[in-house]
Amino acid sequence: MTTTPRRPHKPRNPHRLLDTVIARHDLKNDAALGKALQVSAPRLSKIRHGKLAVNADLVLRIHETFMIPIAELKSLTMECL
């Protein structure tokens, strides 16, 4: 039995995504972003500190609330090379 090697984990950059949305829409902080997205501030804090990942639900909420294209949101979460 052979196993395929696992893909190496590619780090994400949630700060860039959250900070960009906050700056573009003149929000004060993560609490204001959470209120606009109907997401708790602790959830955003956990995302910032790497305890939770940016999931599809959050990306869709940002897209629907702020009309930012999904492709742009995806690129904002990718690690800067």
Give the pLDDT confidence of 56-73 residue by residue, as tens digits: 999 999 999 999 999 999
The domains of the chain are located at 16-77
The CB-based long-range contact list for 2-9 (8 Å cut-off, 24+ gap) reads none
Phi, psi values for residue 48, rounded to 5°: -60, -35
Give the pLDDT confidence of 7-45 residue by residue, as tens digits: 554 556 788 999 999 999 999 999 999 999 999 999 999
Tally Cβ neighbours within 10 Å of residue 53. 11
CATH 1.10.260 assigned to 16-77:
yes
**4 vs 67: CA distance, rounded Å:** 39
Cα-based torsion angle of the residue sequence 42, 48, 49, 51 in order, rounded to the nearest 10 degrees = 70
- DSSP SS3 for 61: helix
Percent of the chain with pLDDT over 90: 58
pTM: 0.79
